[in-house]
Amino acid sequence: MMHELENKSDPVQVHRESLIQLAKKYGTPLYVYDSYKIKKQYIKMKKAFSGIKNLIINYACKANTNLNILKLLQKLGSGLDTVSIQEVELGLKAGFHPKRIIFTPNCVSIQEIKEAVGFGVRINLDNLSILEQFGEYYPDYAIGIRINPHIMAGGNSKISVGHIDSKFGISYYQIPHMKRILKNTGLKIEGFHMHTGSDISEIKAFLAGAKVLFQTAIDFKNLDYIDFGSGFKVPYKKDDIQTDLNSLSSYLTKEFEIFCKNYGSQITLIFEPGKFIVSESGYFLVSVNVIKHTTSTVFAGVDSGFNHFLRPMFYDAYHCIENISNPNGRFRFYTVVGYICESDTFGFNRKVKEIREGDILCIKNAGAYCFSMSSNYNSRYRPSEVMIFKGKDFLIRKRETMQDLLRNIVDIQHII
């Protein structure tokens, strides 16, 4: 399938003029996703690790759960990484086979995990208490274990999830306790999982984690997979650093081959990229409401805020901002802000082509952890989403209305 997809000549789907036309057609704020870029990133990942005989790529759907994106990746041959029972259900609706879905929850109740068993998906557990309960209920349902490798990695403390104080994973120091639970319950382990963080540019973090997983897995018989999670860094601006997949593949393929030889069988290697697959496919279009001068700053106020696009405010994330309405204007400096009742700065003191009221700004790398983290704060509507597929635009999520805000409200006017 990969070669068939690779040989198709897709047109250049997203450019300045097409984005302006989409903003006019669907209004702003608006998310636009380039399906060709998603496909290209998936193929890039497959090719980078083509030296591994049994390789599975599971898309981490928390990055963007639009059903159409899930369907696109399912048709490309991807599996699915999920972290909630709702994501599991979305994956099933998108056509993923239950055994191509891995459910890796954190701090959920045993009831939610029971629901996952009912759907027949693969499950990774990261808590000794839940492991013991699961073994009592389902001793014949093989599961995976998420290990905490005690590695500090990631582009921000909020997305570093493999360090010693993290809530994620079973510490590798707790392996003896885990073995005792397995012996007491008769529960079978089919794989080991690890995820240390996001936006990891240095491959040494991945290799250090691999060493922990290999050392742990070697003592367990009849494993089916080792799951390295993801965390690959993508570029957010020109000449930005990113994870060197080819170097990582060179080292990891060799180490994995050695492990399989020592283990005595060829098991499966799994990756779970989310941001790597969809981040660069996304464009967020906003209209400029007002230009506001203060004693020290020129603000460009737009028709959105952290209710739609949280990453710059939550993670101090950098996203490139371009004025696509005025490509020939001279560069000036602006602080681009939103319309929310708190500080919601998309970019501070940015060098952008002259911005005028009514212009359309494009915020890049909007495919991952953008719409999926949106909210109705200030009672604002969530925006529309559009996918570009084979040169045509398709509305894949309608803009919300007042009816959406009121849908689940229970009116007790007869009491008040």
The residue from 107, 320, 341, 370 that is catalytic is 341
- Determine if residue 369 is labeled as part of a ligand binding site: yes
**Distance (Å, whole) CA 303 – CA 314:** 19
Neighbour count for residue 311 (Cβ, 10 Å): 21
Neighbour count for residue 169 (Cβ, 10 Å): 25
Radius of gyration, alpha carbons of the chain? 23
Q: Map tokens 């040494």 to a residue.
A: 204
Q: CA–CA distance from 32 to each of 68, 365, 368 (Å)?
A: 13, 10, 12
Residue type, 124: N
**Distance (Å, whole) CA 36 – CA 69:** 11
Report the run of H or E that residue 6 belongs to, with start and end.
helix 2-7
- Determine if residue 342 is labeled as part of a ligand binding site: yes
- Determine if residue 315 is labeled as part of a ligand binding site: yes
The residue among 73, 129, 126 whose CA lies nearest residue 101 is 73
- Determine if residue 33 is labeled as part of a ligand binding site: no
The residue among 26, 29, 98, 106 whose CA lies nearest residue 62 is 106
Contacting residues for 268 by C-beta, under 8 A, at least 6 apart = 54, 55, 56, 224, 225, 226
Q: CA–CA distance from 49 to each of 34, 56, 206, 225, 254 (Å)?
A: 24, 10, 14, 16, 11
Query: Is 341 one of the annotated active-site residues of the chain?
Result: yes
What number of CA atoms fall less than 13 Å from residue 329's CA on the CB side?
16
The DSSP bridge pattern shows strands 282-293 and 298-302 to be antiparallel
Q: CA–CA distance from 198 to each of 3, 41, 151, 195, 222 (Å)?
A: 29, 17, 12, 9, 30
Contact between 230 and 195 (Cβ < 8 Å): yes
Q: CA–CA distance from 173 to each of 150, 177, 259, 285 (Å)?
A: 10, 9, 21, 48
| Farthest-apart Cα atoms in the chain, separation | 72
DSSP 3-state assignment of 133?
helix
> Which amino acids are annotated as binding site, given as ranges?
231, 311, 315, 342, 369
Question: Which residues belong to the active site?
Answer: 341
Provide the annotated binding site for substrate.
311, 315, 342, 369
Binding-site positions for pyridoxal 5'-phosphate read 231, 369
